[in-house]
Protein backbone atom coordinates (compact mmCIF):
# COMPACT_ATOMS: atom_id res chain seq x y z
CA UNK A 1 0.00 0.00 0.00
CA UNK A 2 1.27 3.44 -0.89
CA UNK A 3 0.34 6.84 0.39
CA UNK A 4 -1.39 9.44 -1.73
CA UNK A 5 1.11 11.39 -3.79
CA UNK A 6 0.60 15.10 -3.07
CA UNK A 7 2.11 16.18 -6.38
CA UNK A 8 -0.18 13.89 -8.39
CA UNK A 9 -3.17 15.05 -6.38
CA UNK A 10 -2.30 18.71 -6.92
CA UNK A 11 -1.79 18.24 -10.65
CA UNK A 12 -5.09 16.40 -11.03
CA UNK A 13 -7.11 18.93 -9.05
CA UNK A 14 -5.49 21.80 -10.97
CA UNK A 15 -6.44 20.09 -14.22
CA UNK A 16 -9.99 19.70 -12.92
CA UNK A 17 -10.11 23.44 -12.11
CA UNK A 18 -8.93 24.26 -15.62
CA UNK A 19 -11.55 21.96 -17.10
CA UNK A 20 -14.21 23.62 -14.95
CA UNK A 21 -13.18 27.05 -16.29
CA UNK A 22 -13.36 25.80 -19.87
CA UNK A 23 -16.71 24.09 -19.38
CA UNK A 24 -18.22 27.10 -17.61
CA UNK A 25 -17.77 29.15 -20.79
CA UNK A 26 -20.13 26.87 -22.74
CA UNK A 27 -23.72 26.63 -21.61
CA UNK A 28 -24.37 23.25 -23.27
CA UNK A 29 -21.80 21.59 -20.97
CA UNK A 30 -23.70 22.09 -17.69
CA UNK A 31 -23.84 18.35 -16.91
CA UNK A 32 -20.11 17.94 -17.61
CA UNK A 33 -19.31 20.99 -15.51
CA UNK A 34 -21.36 19.62 -12.63
CA UNK A 35 -19.66 16.19 -12.88
CA UNK A 36 -16.21 17.80 -12.99
CA UNK A 37 -16.97 19.89 -9.91
CA UNK A 38 -18.29 16.83 -8.06
CA UNK A 39 -15.19 14.76 -8.87
CA UNK A 40 -12.87 17.57 -7.82
CA UNK A 41 -14.74 18.10 -4.55
CA UNK A 42 -14.69 14.38 -3.84
CA UNK A 43 -10.95 14.20 -4.53
CA UNK A 44 -10.35 17.15 -2.18
CA UNK A 45 -12.54 15.64 0.53
CA UNK A 46 -10.78 12.28 0.30
CA UNK A 47 -7.35 13.93 0.35
CA UNK A 48 -8.26 15.95 3.45
CA UNK A 49 -9.60 12.79 5.11
CA UNK A 50 -6.36 11.00 4.22
CA UNK A 51 -4.33 13.71 5.98
CA UNK A 52 -6.62 13.62 9.00
CA UNK A 53 -6.17 9.85 9.25
CA UNK A 54 -2.39 10.19 8.91
CA UNK A 55 -2.39 12.63 11.81
CA UNK A 56 -4.57 10.28 13.85
CA UNK A 57 -2.35 7.29 13.18
CA UNK A 58 0.74 9.35 13.98
CA UNK A 59 -0.76 10.20 17.38
CA UNK A 60 -1.78 6.58 17.91
CA UNK A 61 1.77 5.39 17.21
CA UNK A 62 3.20 8.00 19.58
CA UNK A 63 0.74 7.03 22.33
CA UNK A 64 1.53 3.35 21.84
CA UNK A 65 5.29 3.95 21.98
CA UNK A 66 4.93 5.96 25.21
CA UNK A 67 2.81 3.25 26.82
CA UNK A 68 5.19 0.54 25.59
CA UNK A 69 8.15 2.26 27.24
CA UNK A 70 6.17 2.84 30.43
CA UNK A 71 5.02 -0.77 30.67
CA UNK A 72 8.44 -2.16 29.78
CA UNK A 73 10.56 0.00 32.08
CA UNK A 74 8.30 1.15 34.88
CA UNK A 75 6.04 -1.84 35.33
CA UNK A 76 7.08 -5.14 33.81
CA UNK A 77 10.79 -4.79 34.47
CA UNK A 78 10.23 -3.98 38.14
CA UNK A 79 7.71 -6.81 38.60
CA UNK A 80 10.00 -9.38 37.00
CA UNK A 81 12.98 -8.28 39.12
CA UNK A 82 10.84 -8.46 42.25
CA UNK A 83 9.68 -11.97 41.33
CA UNK A 84 13.29 -12.98 40.65
CA UNK A 85 14.10 -12.17 44.27
CA UNK A 86 11.02 -13.97 45.59
CA UNK A 87 11.02 -17.22 43.56
CA UNK A 88 13.61 -19.82 44.57
CA UNK A 89 16.00 -20.78 41.75
CA UNK A 90 15.08 -24.47 42.02
CA UNK A 91 11.41 -23.88 41.14
CA UNK A 92 10.37 -24.57 37.50
CA UNK A 93 8.71 -21.17 37.28
CA UNK A 94 12.09 -19.51 37.90
CA UNK A 95 13.36 -20.68 34.49
CA UNK A 96 10.31 -19.13 32.78
CA UNK A 97 10.85 -15.96 34.78
CA UNK A 98 14.47 -15.72 33.61
CA UNK A 99 13.35 -16.31 30.01
CA UNK A 100 10.84 -13.47 30.34
CA UNK A 101 13.51 -11.17 31.74
CA UNK A 102 15.75 -11.98 28.76
CA UNK A 103 12.88 -11.36 26.36
CA UNK A 104 11.95 -8.01 27.89
CA UNK A 105 15.54 -6.77 27.91
CA UNK A 106 16.51 -8.43 24.64
CA UNK A 107 19.50 -10.22 26.12
Q: Predicted confidence band at 101 (pLDDT cuts at 50, 70, 90)? A: confident
What digits encode the pLDDT tens for the residues 33-82? 999 999 999 999 999 999 999 999 999 999 999 999 999 888 887 887 78
What share of the chain in percent tops pLDDT 70?
Answer: 99
Assign 101 to helix, strand or coil. Answer: helix
The 3-class secondary structure across 21-88, one letter per residue, is HHHHCCHHHHHHHHHHHHHHHHHHHHHHHHHHHHHHHHHHHHHHHHHHHHHHHHHHHHHHHHHHHHCC
Q: pLDDT at position 72, please?
A: 85
Say whether pTM exceeds 0.75: no
Residue ranges of domains in the chain: 6-105
Assign 96 to helix, strand or coil. Answer: helix
Q: pLDDT at position 16, please?
A: 97
Rounded-to-integer distance, Cα 27 and Cα 41, Å: 21
Q: pLDDT at position 86, please?
A: 80
Amino acid sequence: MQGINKSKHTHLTEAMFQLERLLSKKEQNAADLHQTEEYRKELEKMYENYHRLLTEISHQIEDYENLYIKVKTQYLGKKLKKLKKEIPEQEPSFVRLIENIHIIYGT
